[in-house]
Amino acid sequence: MSYWHQMYRREPVSRVELDNGAARFESLMSKELSERDRKFAESLQRQFSEKGNLSPKQVECIERMEERYSEDAIAARKKWEASYKDEHRQTAIICANYYVTTSYFRDLAVKIATDEDFVPTERQFNALTKNKYAKKAIAAATEPPAFPVGTLAKVRANYNLVTDRTLHDQIGLVVENHAKGLYASSTILVNGKRHKLEDRCLKAAAKKKKK
């Protein structure tokens, strides 16, 4: 055998027995598997039928699938689906509306925001809603506005927050609140012009002292 053949020779994949394999496949295939899981299970079943054994990784896949479709796991998913629609969907939509504007969780966010029947897994929900950015978006959407419509607000003289220097220290009338995104924002009327600014760019206008 040449040097290069020795260098790139693949070691044979080890095979292991699958205890009660035929019965386990029959039981698994009788369940309501997802389309993807069913195709994968059918592929493994064919290999098992032909060779009588599987690789260690394939056995691990079968075991995980059996666990995923166990009676307890199915009951837990049904319980989650019911609680999601009643208790968690609005929170998921808030976070999805933020994440559709980013490159993170985009596919999941689009499904949640556009498909009323879609239910993310509990793991997906937690990943989408329990990170620090999601918590900011939830707070922005659910907490009372810092500057309610009809109040006066002063624009902070902070170039890092407000790049338009002409707005610095200007007082404006809040005409609209926007409870969406990572930070709540407001539209204020300054010298007859509307400006939409994040609430962190504003501060309460000092009240005039009575004489």
In a domain, 147, yes or no: no
d(CA 34, CA 75): 16
Same-domain pairing of 138 and 83: yes
Instruction: Specify whether 20 is located in the same domain as 62.
Output: yes
Is 33 part of any domain?
yes
- Burial (Cβ within 10 Å: 0-12, 13-18, ≥19) of residue 179: middle
The CATH number given to whatever domain includes residue 162 is 2.30.30
For the segment 6-50, what is each residue's pLDDT rounded down to a tens digit? 555 566 667 878 888 999 999 999 999 999 999 999 999 999 998
Question: pLDDT tens across 189-200, in order?
Answer: 999 999 999 999
95 inside domain:
yes
The phi-psi region of residue 52 (left if phi > 0; otherwise alpha if psi is between -120 and 50; otherwise beta) is: left
Does residue 4 lie within any of the structural domains?
no
Q: Is residue 189 situated within a structural domain?
A: yes
Which residue segment(s) compose the domain that 188 sits in? 152-204
Domain co-membership, 18 together with 63: yes
Of 142, 169, 185, the last residue of a domain is 142
The count of domains in the chain is 3
- Give CA–CA dist 90/112, Å, rounded: 10
Do both 112 and 161 map to the same domain? no
What pTM was estimated for this model as a whole? 0.71
Q: Are 153 and 118 in contact (CB under 8 A)?
A: no
pLDDT in tens, the chain (211 residues): 555 555 555 666 678 788 889 999 999 999 999 999 999 999 999 999 988 889 999 999 999 999 999 999 999 999 999 999 999 999 999 999 999 999 999 999 999 999 999 999 999 999 999 999 999 999 999 999 999 999 999 999 999 999 999 999 999 999 999 998 899 999 999 999 999 999 999 999 876 655 5
Q: Are residues 135 and 90 in the same domain?
A: yes
